[in-house]
Amino acid sequence: MNSNKLTKLIIDALEDVKAQHIVKLDVRDMTTVTDYMIIASGTSSRHVKALVDSVAEKAKKAGHRAIGVEGEEGGEWVLLDLQDALVHVMLPKVREFYNLEKLWSIVPTGDATATDG
């Protein structure tokens, strides 16, 4: 499954369980860790967990198993690593605080090299 099909599957799974404010970020030019980051909000810790479970289940059925899940215990911010896409599902207050959309949309302005003082 290519990255674009995977992100469509992720977004569909999130929409099925009523995720809020879904954002897809193309980070291919910024990192080699993943191609896309999908960020969404849930209304409660239980909702956040249900959203992640929905994505993991649909990805698994499509033959794309998660290689890691972090944050399920607290449910304020859960990260699901599907290799070609990282899925961040957060409570609104956590999402606002970390503002990943802004962080991952910063474009480097040039070569920043350290100089000896």
Work out the percent of the chain whose per-residue pLDDT is above 70. 89
Q: Given this model, what pLDDT does residue 110 score? A: 56
Q: Strands, DSSP E only, in 34-107?
A: 36-41, 68-70, 77-81, 85-90
Q: Given this model, what pLDDT does residue 29 score? A: 83
Q: Given this model, what pLDDT does residue 105 score? A: 74
Q: Would you place residue 32 in the very low, low, confident or very high pLDDT band (cuts 50, 70, 90)?
A: confident
Q: Given this model, what pLDDT does residue 13 score? A: 97
Residue 58: CB partners within 8 Å, gap ≥ 6?
9, 10, 12, 13
Q: How far apart are CA 33 and CA 36, in angstroms?
A: 9
Is it true that domain 3-102 has CATH number 3.30.460.10? Answer: yes
pTM of the model: 0.86
Taking the domains of the chain in order of start, what are their residue ranges? 3-102
Q: Would you place residue 113 in the very low, low, confident or very high pLDDT band (cuts 50, 70, 90)?
A: low
3-state secondary structure of 101: helix
